């Protein structure tokens, strides 16, 4: 059962200028909280938070979470880490350091401040799953030495640290495993399937499908996801997670490509390329726990969310063309 607090807080969001982080900040500010956005702008963008700089309750600090941070806050959301293969494979050692050292530094801050902390983990902890749909009790099938392991194992280690800080130091933790999320403010060159397909369709260039496009994903609109974050943070201390947050409705990659073509009216063709190494064949969350403990499930249908996302990228590309 969720327990919501109307008390105004000073909340730190690491990775706050990123796609998901910036939407989370919007929601927290709308609830009357003060928000400290911490980001090194490696994958985040000032564009995502430009509209907030005149808000007296918003503050931005350019900082890398692999270094300690000494501030006073009442609550922490730790979202800092590159989350797309193109970005996290660009500097894999840095990616692992961000997940692990970043978690240690944010947990250290939570320990000093005696405050609650949220970890944005990922469905990638399940690897290429042998259990479908994925339940929180499944330990995963992850290649520890592959090209994706900097992210997969980094996030798995971060979860370990969160639960050890909880057991050893009594820190109040909330660990969410995020499944594929999309919406406005996605990076147009992050290599994620939704942004890739939309940008390719709007530019009228071929849409690239890896393999035959029969691998599946479940797409959650960003507003639904951050609603889950805030609900989770409002639960009693004994509800630690990990909890899956994502949309349980599964689509093949080819189905997504065809829907994007239809909605954009694009003349782009579909072309195939070899599957990337360790690319999961299936990804679908079991959200039984989120429904029970958070009274949460996604509300936004894929077509509805894609309309908003396509509109965002259409405007972005138009601005770049001017």
Active site residues: 151
User: Quick one: 77 exposed, middle or buried, by C-beta within 10 A (0-12, 13-18, 19+)?
Assistant: buried
Distance separating alpha carbons of residues 10 and 35, to the nearest angstrom: 6
Structure tokens at 131: 């259990």
Structure tokens at 126: 């399940």
Longest dimension (CA), the chain: 58
Distance separating alpha carbons of residues 58 and 49, to the nearest angstrom: 10
Pairing relationship of beta strands 116-122 and 75-78 according to DSSP bridges: parallel
User: Quick one: 252 exposed, middle or buried, by C-beta within 10 A (0-12, 13-18, 19+)?
Assistant: middle
Distance separating alpha carbons of residues 270 and 278, to the nearest angstrom: 23
């Amino acid at each position: 059962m969720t327990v919501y607090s109307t008390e105004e807080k000073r909340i730190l969001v690491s990775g706050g200028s990123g796609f998901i982080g910036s939407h989370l900040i919007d929601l927290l500010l709308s609830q009357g909280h003060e928000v400290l956005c911490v980001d090194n702008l490696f994958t985040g963008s000032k564009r995502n938070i430009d509209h907030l700089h005149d808000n007296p309750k918003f503050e931005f600090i350019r900082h890398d979470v692999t270094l300690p941070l000494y501030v006073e806050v009442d609550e922490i959301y730790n979202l800092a880490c590159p989350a797309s293969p193109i970005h996290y494979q660009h500097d894999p050692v840095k990616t692992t350091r961000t997940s692990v050292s970043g978690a240690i530094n944010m947990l250290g801050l939570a320990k000093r401040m005696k405050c609650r902390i949220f970890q944005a983990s990922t469905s990638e902890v399940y690897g290429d799953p042998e259990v479908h749909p994925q339940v929180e009790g499944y330990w995963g099938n992850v290649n520890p030495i592959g090209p994706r392991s900097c992210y997969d194992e980094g996030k798995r280690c971060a979860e370990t640290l969160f639960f050890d800080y909880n057991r050893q130091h009594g820190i109040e933790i909330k660990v969410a495993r995020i499944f594929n999320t999309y919406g406005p403010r996605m990076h147009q060159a992050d290599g994620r399937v939704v942004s890739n397909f939309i940008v390719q369709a709007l530019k009228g260039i071929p849409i690239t499908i890896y393999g035959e496009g029969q691998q599946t994903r479940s797409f959650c609109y960003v507003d639904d996801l951050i609603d889950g974050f805030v609900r989770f943070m409002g639960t009693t201390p004994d509800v630690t997670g990990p909890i899956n947050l994502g949309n349980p409705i599964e689509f093949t990659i080819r189905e997504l490509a065809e829907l994007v073509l239809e909605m954009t009216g694009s003349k782009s063709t579909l072309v195939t390329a070899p599957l990337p190494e360790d690319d999961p064949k299936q990804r679908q969350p079991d959200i039984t726990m989120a429904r029970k403990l958070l009274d949460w499930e996604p509300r936004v249908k894929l077509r509805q969310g894609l309309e908003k996302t396509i509109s965002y990228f259409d405007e972005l590309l138009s601005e770049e063309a001017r």
